[in-house]
Chains A and B, each alone.
Chain A
């Protein structure tokens, strides 16, 4: 445990940067006019 910094979640954003998206996951309208959601909320269908 470090003195000044605690890791809450190690980032994984770049881990898939080389692959083309398979687009099997749910579509996510982000507008408030539907139930908007952030992509951060999405589940990958391909793991």
Chain B
């Protein structure tokens, strides 16, 4: 059992069932030992600090929960995907532009070009991607296409064409494609906004928070800051869609370890759907996050949680992506075990139509998987990714957060440790902290 503190409460999570408990100190101590020792051994281990009478009482409460199936130490057997379902694709990340008008210093895409020439996708390739998705999706009805880049709105005419074509072709097969778009917000003009609203497309808008923080990492191509234009555009855009169906996402780096202040800044701009994420990669750069930052980052998540709960209690709440978690309900076991689906359910497509396991592997030849024209030509990679679930990751099997995290990012794992099966240690620690807070928040009902 994982026992931790949040907001003055002591909480205990049973990692395998997902049961969340609020406990006193005694029950917390008992639960830490519960899956490892017998009741008699637990009593012996704790009898120097607690009376036998209290221990017996706490143990009987724990036994009751275990008898009701709320606590369990045994992992269910690994779900093995049927052969038919391996290689069925449900989502594509379309890199419609390997080009960008910003020059973000932390960009994993090499400021948009992914280390290649700056190129954009043509209509024929975009349509071929839709055809590929539809013919590869098997019986799945709900499909997804995310327009990504670079900056996808540098290629807006093709985005518009792909959406029209995708809707038409999907409808013929009784399927639905949900389109999303990730943008730096610099190119949101009237025509674009009308189109995105008309299609009810979920939009992710990038903005890092305070002006100085944003402009240090997100300059325009000519070196000037992007904050004033972007923050204006983001606010206008959100207003024009009545505050619905968007996310503002920022990145924090070693330069703003006080990132909760950036979330507060976004909140004060009137934005209510927020996410701020640790920068990825960039080993050895001044902005790179390392283990040395971990304690400060954990404290900062706590400060953010205080702000989150305060705003909720004041009746003007906001969503913070990482603090949303269904502790009751949530997805099925298969999903909890397999996670993102990169390389099997989900593929990325370059402007030329080349396939990769996801946007973070684009351009790495050892991960080339085929093209939208020829289909997947590297079944061994599909197999490797479809089997890379929790059960194959020793670190994850030991981790309390496994069924909420589902095994982390294959790409970070590969880039940090040379294998998709060993997650990146720093990102794991941050993930675990955020999951503790998300669980903790669910233990506090709104006072409204």
Taking Cβ atoms with an 8 Å cutoff, the residues of A that contact B are 2-46
Contact = CB atoms under 8 A, between A and B. Distances in A.
Interface residues of B, number: 88
A9 to B, nearest CB: 4
Contact of A21 (B334, B405, B435, B442): B334
A20 B18 CA distance: 19
Contacts of B339: 28, 30, 39
Contact of B435 (A8, A13, A38): A38
20 contacts: A7-B70, A8-B20, A8-B22, A9-B328, A12-B17, A16-B332, A19-B334, A23-B334, A26-B142, A27-B144, A30-B339, A32-B278, A33-B280, A33-B359, A38-B434, A38-B435, A39-B406, A40-B435, A42-B326, A43-B326
Given A16-B334, A20-B82, A11 B70 contact: yes
B20 A30 contact: no
Contacts of B70: 7, 10-11
Contact of B405 (A9, A18, A25, A38): A38
Nearest to B431: A38
Contacts of A39: 330-331, 335-336, 339, 403-406
Interface in B315-357: 321-322, 324-336, 338-342, 345-346
A35 B204 contact: yes
Judged by DSSP, the binding face of B is mixed
B81 A5 contact: no
B336 A31 contact: no
B169 interface: no
A34 B409 CA distance: 11
A27 B405 CA distance: 14
B287 to A, nearest CB: 13
Contacts of B409: 29-32, 36
Contacts of B236: none
Contacts of A13: 16-18, 330, 333, 336, 403
A18 B438 CA distance: 27
B58 interface: yes
B158 interface: no
Contacts of A43: 326, 331
A26 B10 CA distance: 33
A15 B404 CA distance: 15
Contacts of A9: 18-20, 327-328, 442
A23 B81 CA distance: 11
A35 B144 CA distance: 15
Given A4-B61, A25-B331, A30-B409, A41 B23 contact: no
Contact of A11 (B14, B76, B247, B434): B14
A30 B328 CA distance: 20
Interface string B392-411: 00000000000111101101
A29 to B, nearest CB: 5
B411 A31 contact: yes
B271 to A, nearest CB: 14
B379 interface: no
B118 to A, nearest CB: 19
B183 interface: no
Contacts of B26: 4
